[in-house]
Structure 1
Amino acid sequence: MDLDVVNMFIIAGGTLAIPILAFVASFLLWPAALIKVYYWYWRRRLGMQVDYAEYEGYRFCYSHRGTPGTRPSVLLLHGFSAHKDMWLGVVKFLPKNMHLVCVDMPGHEGTTRSSAVDYSIEGQVKRIHQFVKSIGLNRKPFQLIGTSMGGNVAGVYASRHPSDLCGVTLICPAGLQYPTESKFVQRLRELEKAQDSDGIPLIPSTPEEMEEMLKLCSYVRFKIPKQILQGLVDVRIPNNDFYRECFMELVGEKSRHSLHENMHLISTPLQVIWGKNDQVLDVSGASVLAKAIPGSQVHLLDNCGHSVVMERPRKSAQLIMDFIIAQQNAAINSNKKLS
């Protein structure tokens, strides 16, 4: 074989080997970095841009796609210890021309971390309202969607600022008095009696604890390599003190039942989505909301746990879109009758 051809193959092989070796090295040595690259890649592929907004010195980090149009804009609020990128799976199945905004909740990821008062549900509602005003999202009514802690915030927001919204979707929301206690709530009661704030299942500090948390939150059982579990832990550990402070505020007297105490004030069209196999917040909470708010649309998903938006992203997107379109059609029909 000609020497130049041999050299070409060697160079080509070396060129291919470099990214492969870099990937393997990242997977084995820096899994946390690989996870961040993964989110960056999916944001870019889905057309989500990251921006910042300020309100009186407080900074919000958010991602967004599209511009306001004929359909209402959509604001998505994530759950405890998560971040704006948890919605990427759902974003993938929503129309590309729809205006979407995913914000990091107070103290989470790129949003300012300040005093504990901001982590109470009332504090978070106040901050989210500031965010909405800072980007002009409430120039016309928008759809508000929240899951878990974000669902609690979204529900209380709807009770406080109904004129901002055309609809609200609560996915496995926290903040209710549940007729049936979940496995997670039972565990919290045990920790409360023992006065142990270090064993909170949603604040893992080892790969093993991370695996247990994922089993608690998800009905679907994923086989996750230990390196990835370690990466997930590495990303969270620097924030664990904050998560603990935030969590104690959320389960405190002021916030524990915030949604329950305010749900009778919700006049905005309401959609409730819940996994039937939720071990964190029992699905019986759906009946509490349905009873308190007549006309609510309730969807209970089979073979689905607490992490609905990650386990069933396509179904979540479909239900959300069906609800938004139904509200638009109802508004059009109402206007026709008035005219």
Structure 2
Amino acid sequence: MRRRLGLVIRYCTSGSYRFCYSSRGTPGGATPSLLLLHGFSASKDMWLPIVKHLPRGQHVVCVDMPGHEGTTRTGAQDYCIQGQVARIHQFVKSIGLDKRPFHLVGTSMGGNVAGVYAAHHPAHLSRVTLMCPAGLVFPTESEFIVRLREMEKTQQQGSIPLIPTTTQELESMLKLCCYTPISLPKQLLRGLLDNRVPNNDFYKEVFMEIVGEKSRHSLQERLHLITSPVQVIWGKEDQVVDVSGAAVLQAALPNCQVELIENCGHSVALERPRKSANLIMDFLSKKEVNGGNAKKLS
């Protein structure tokens, strides 16, 4: 699919650190470059369904987040949100993306990173799209957060719902992340699980960092520093990070453009790729954001 879409896998190094990314097109076109940051335990390839619906001439870069897939795996200092922001900034400079303002898109954990990046490096961005980002103080807690709190209170060492160890747990994770049920043959589920399990210790280390005290509300704490135009895209049926976070962002960033997608869960890029691609391109192509046109939440 990557080849069919014209994406090429590339590597860049900064000192002893290596980033793996895929890209298509060249910077300097009619629209700003797009940099896409994936969520926890995913990879650059999670963006393929969206890239499929982007204009062929759009310069797009999908990077593996710190420690994920082909990007160097180091330690906790790079996995907290601030650490990830520092590494992404290193990546931006390494490939020369900082030469002109670019459009940053992040989902879930990547949305938290994108928001904090926007707070720290406003001069590098033309605008930012946050897709169901983590890192906020949510008025309503999702089913996932409620379960985490229970585990925390009782100090259970049970399995983390986003780190499956059996095919049954993987099916539960897919149900948690998607509103529309995904039915996969057992053999495919087994293959997906076999790919994930060797990384589970790493996933657990990252997870403990991003839900830890330093990172849990890192986006919330920096909302006042964000000056770039912001677009928020959220699945109304998100069970991982509750859609009530969209109202939090709109209250803090009055001119942000909010798009709530009906019958869609946490995995917006997987469930509604065409809609997401169109929303991102519409926002990317705007000359200015008019607060009066921002969709108000009911």
Could you say whether these structures have the same fold, taking a TM-score greater than 0.5 normalized by the shorter chain as the test?
yes
2:254 corresponds to: 294
Specify the code of the residue in structure 2 equivalent to 1:204.
P
**Structure 1 Cα separation of the partners of residues 238 and 105 of structure 2:** 18
Secondary structure, counterpart of 2:263 in structure 1: coil
2:265 to 300, 305, 323: 305
Sequence identity of aligned pairs in percent?
66
**Structure 2 Cα separation of the partners of residues 174 and 197 of structure 1:** 23
1:244 maps to 2:233: no
1:184 maps to 2:140: no
Deviations, residues 298-326 of structure 1 (Å, cap 9, x unaligned)? 00000000000000000000000110111
1:58 to 7, 13, 17: 17
Specify the code of the residue in structure 1 equivalent to 2:161.
P
2:277 corresponds to: 317
2:176 corresponds to: 216
Specify the code of the residue in structure 2 equivalent to 1:220.
T
**Structure 2 Cα separation of the partners of residues 297 and 226 of structure 1:** 41
2:154 to 194, 208, 220: 194
1:256 corresponds to: 216
**Could you tell me how far 1:198 is from its partner in structure 2?**
4.0
Instruction: Output the TM-score relative to the length of structure 2.
Output: 0.96
204-213 or 188-197: bigger deviation:
188-197
**Structure 1 Cα separation of the partners of residues 44 and 182 of structure 2:** 22
1:31 corresponds to: none
Specify the code of the residue in structure 1 equivalent to 2:31.
R
1:170 to 124, 127, 130: 130
Contact 1:170 1:271 survives alignment (8 Å): yes
**Structure 2 Cα separation of the partners of residues 196 and 308 of structure 1:** 30
**Could you tell me how far 1:266 is from its partner in structure 2?**
0.4
Instruction: Output the TM-score relative to the length of structure 1.
Output: 0.84
**Could you tell me how far 1:197 is from its partner in structure 2?**
3.9
**Could you tell me how far 1:264 is from its partner in structure 2?**
1.1
1:203 corresponds to: 163
Contact 2:229 2:289 survives alignment (8 Å): no
**Structure 1 Cα separation of the partners of residues 239 and 21 of structure 2:** 29
Task: Flag structure 1 segments of 5+ consecutive residues without an equivalent.
Answer: 1-41, 332-339
**Could you tell me how far 1:254 is from its partner in structure 2?**
0.2
Greater Rg over alpha carbons, structure:
1
**Could you tell me how far 1:43 is from its partner in structure 2?**
0.3
Contact 1:75 1:101 survives alignment (8 Å): yes
Q: How many residues align?
A: 289
Contact 2:179 2:264 survives alignment (8 Å): yes
**Could you tell me how far 1:329 is from its partner in structure 2?**
5.7
2:6 to 47, 56, 60: 47
Deviations, residues 140-177 of structure 1 (Å, cap 9, x unaligned)? 00000000000000000000000000000000000000
Task: Flag structure 2 segments of 5+ consecutive residues without an equivalent.
Answer: 291-298
**Could you tell me how far 1:330 is from its partner in structure 2?**
6.3
Secondary structure, counterpart of 2:22 in structure 1: strand
Secondary structure, counterpart of 2:140 in structure 1: coil
**Structure 2 Cα separation of the partners of residues 261 and 228 of structure 1:** 41
Give 1 or 2: higher helix fraction: 1
Secondary structure, counterpart of 1:46 in structure 2: coil
**Could you tell me how far 1:224 is from its partner in structure 2?**
1.1
**Could you tell me how far 1:265 is from its partner in structure 2?**
0.6
2:185 corresponds to: 225
**Could you tell me how far 1:124 is from its partner in structure 2?**
0.2
1:280 to 240, 250, 273: 240
1:22 corresponds to: none
1:270 corresponds to: 230
1:67 maps to 2:11: no
**Structure 2 Cα separation of the partners of residues 309 and 157 of structure 1:** 21
Secondary structure, counterpart of 1:44 in structure 2: coil
1:109 corresponds to: 69
